[in-house]
Amino acid sequence: MTKPALESFPRSERVAQMQASSTLAAMQKAQALRASGVDVVDLGAGEPDFDTPDHIKRAAAEAMRAGETKYTATGGTRALQEAVVNYYAREFGARYDISEVMATAGGKQALFNAIVSLVNAGDEVLIAQPYWVTFPEIVKFAGGTPVFIETEETGFQLTAEQVRRAVTPRTKLLIINSPSNPSGRVVAPAEFRRIMETLAEHGVYVISDECYLRFVYAPAEVFSASSLAPELRARLCIAGSFSKTYAMTGWRMGYALAPREWTKAMLLVQGHSTSNPNSIAQRAATEAFNGSQDCVGAMLAEYGARREWLIKALADVPGFECVAPEGAFYAFPNVRGCLGGKVKTSGALADKLLNDEQTVVTDGAGFGADGYLRISYATSLERLEEGVRRIRRVAEECVAG
Ligand code: PLP
């Protein structure tokens, strides 16, 4: 029997409609170029350039020595669950029971569990646009319909009024991501509350993706949906991550905090997919939440300094308009001023940056924001300076026609 050609592989309908992740694609392009010896400036990465703090690594080493190398409970060790509950109590005055928390392999798995355990075919899921690329893909995978809320008119700030206008009798869920990847916008606490009140009126569930929770620049405020009154978080799932806060992207650790029945459904999904997250990484994550938080402050201060430099530098790039991000570690300039000549789209501009200047940025179109570029400042100031020099050369050429 002859083997079928790879192209004829009969992908399931669910997978056939999936779009490849544009952020991962940008990362792979950078890796391939670097491997071929090219001096790449990578401003595409959605990952901290810092190493995982030492005390967290030591905890993992200790776990290995102590033989913590076996399966744990599907939702993680009791110690990690307690660390999550205590962290949210300490930081946000939130009261969660152990039965409302589970550990996951990264924030992504928390999102996946939360969406597929709730959404049915035909359900509408509200997502603010621009959005993190993975949200609509998981919603479609679950059979739901992503309904995008365009927020350009409010400078990418999601408002309760926009949410109210988007709700229909079929709305099952809203996914909120503050600070936002890619826009860096932070929903102010009062507006967040109004959004939650609007959704509670309509019985709509909410996932709050708090992946960038700690990376907020004053005067914007750190805010977790966990601090809302119990009646406003009756249908809330928090998807959290250790990846960015503690520079732990490779460890694959995250968590979900949700009402008990939702958590039970998520445990069912995880129990039949990956089971528990890595046992050694669980010990590291436990230490991340229980140990000193000085490392987080130090990383935030560094991101803050880079942000300040970058926003000033981008203000001098012709054709670029950039509002300062309030959180996360991305600038998201409107680059329409560079388009219309030979370069027509932000995607073409990103390609030109890569081809002419070996500089990786991410096209806003993948996030539902054509005409924008995402520039990550999770890289050294020195590389940022070199990157902006290259971006300026390309922008000057585009503006000149
Ligand atoms: N949510 C957002 C908005 C993200 O940007 C990311 C990673 O880029 C994640 C969740 C998931 O991160 P991880 O699975 O590494 O915890």
For residue 107, give the 3-state DSSP assignment.
helix
Atom of ligand 1 nearest to the CA of 181: 3
Q: What is the DSSP letter of 233?
A: S
Q: Which residues contact 338 (CB under 8 A, 6 or more apart)?
A: 318, 319, 320, 349, 394, 395, 398, 399
Amino acid letter for position 228 = L
Residue-wise pLDDT for 320-331, tens only, equals: 999 999 999 999
Q: Evaluate: CB of 119 within 6 angstroms of ligand 1.
A: no
Architecture of domain 13-51+295-400: Alpha-Beta Complex (3.90)
Q: Tell me what pLDDT residue 6 has.
A: 62
Is residue 2 scored above 70 in pLDDT?
no
**Rounded to whole angstroms, how far apart are CA atoms 227 and 247?**
25
Tens digit of each residue's pLDDT (9 = 90 or more) over 364-388: 999 999 999 999 999 999 999 999 9
Average pLDDT over residues 203-227: 97
Name the pairing type of β-strands 236-241 and 205-209.
parallel
93 backbone φψ class: left, alpha, beta (φ>0; ψ -120 to 50): left
The per-residue pLDDT for range 148-196, each reduced to its tens digit, is 999 999 999 999 999 999 999 999 999 999 999 999 999 999 999 999 9
- CATH number of the domain located at residue range(s) 54-290 in this protein: 3.40.640.10
For residue 113, is pLDDT > 70?
yes
43-84 pLDDT, tens per residue?
998 899 999 999 999 999 999 999 999 999 999 999 999 999
Task: Output the pLDDT for position 303.
Answer: 98
Structure tokens at 374: 């995402």
- CA 263 to ligand 1 centroid distance, Å: 20
Counting every residue written for the chain, the total comes to 401
**Nearest Cα residue to 107 out of 22, 210, 26:** 210
Q: 54-290: same fold as 13-51+295-400?
A: no
Of 207, 241, 251, the one to substitute when testing ligand 1's pocket (max ligand atoms within 8 A of C-beta) is 241
Q: Is the C-beta atom of 209 inside 6 A of ligand 1?
A: yes
Q: pLDDT at residue 363 above 80?
A: yes
* pLDDT at site 231: 93
Residue in 243, 249, 253 to alter for ligand 1 test, most ligand atoms within 8 A of Cβ = 243
Contact present, 332 and 184 (Cβ < 8 Å): yes
**For residue 12, how many other CB atoms are within 10 A of its CB?**
9
CA dist., res. 214 & res. 236, Å (int): 19
Ligand 1 and 210: CB distance under 6 A: no
Q: What ranges make up the beta strands (E) of 167-317? A: 171-177, 205-209, 236-241, 254-257
Specify the pTM: 0.95
Side chain identity at 292, as an amino acid letter?
A: S
User: Residue 154: what pLDDT?
Assistant: 96
3-state secondary structure (DSSP) of residue 363: strand
Q: Is 108 in the pocket of ligand 1 (CB under 6 A)?
A: yes
Strand partners, 51: none
Q: In this predicted model, what pLDDT tens digit does every residue of 77-109 receive, in sequence order?
A: 999 999 999 999 999 999 999 999 999 999 999
Lowest mean pLDDT among 29-33, 108-112, 281-285, 336-340: 29-33
Provide the pLDDT for residue 3. Answer: 66
> Which uninterrupted H or E stretch holds 346?
helix 346-357
Mean pLDDT of the chain: 95
- Asked if omega into 53 is within 30° of 0 (cis), the reply is no
Domain boundaries, given as residue ranges, for the chain:
13-51+295-400, 54-290
The verdict on the CB of residue 333 being under 6 Å from ligand 1 is no
Residue 5: what pLDDT?
62
What local confidence, expressed as pLDDT, does residue 28 receive?
Answer: 81
Res 258 pLDDT > 90: yes
| 247-272 mean pLDDT | 98
- Does 26 contact ligand 1 (Cβ within 6 A)? no
Q: Which pLDDT belongs to residue 295? A: 98
Residue 275 in contact with residue 119, Cβ under 8 Å? Answer: no
Contact between 322 and 185 under an 8 Å Cβ cutoff? The reply is no
Nearest ligand 1 atom, CA 47: 8
Ligand 1 closest atom vs CA 209: 1
SS3 164: helix
Contact 375, 361 (CB under 8 A): yes
- Ligand 1 geometric centre to CA of 46 (Å): 8
Residue 32's Cβ-count burial label (10 Å; 0-12, 13-18, 19+) is exposed
Q: 92 near 66, Cβ under 8 Å? A: no
- Is-contact 333 339, C-beta < 8 A? no
Coil vs helix vs strand at 95:
coil
> Does the pLDDT at position 1 exceed 60?
no
Query: Is it the case that residue 7 has pLDDT exceeding 80?
Result: no
**Helices and strands per DSSP (H, E), number in the chain:** 13, 12
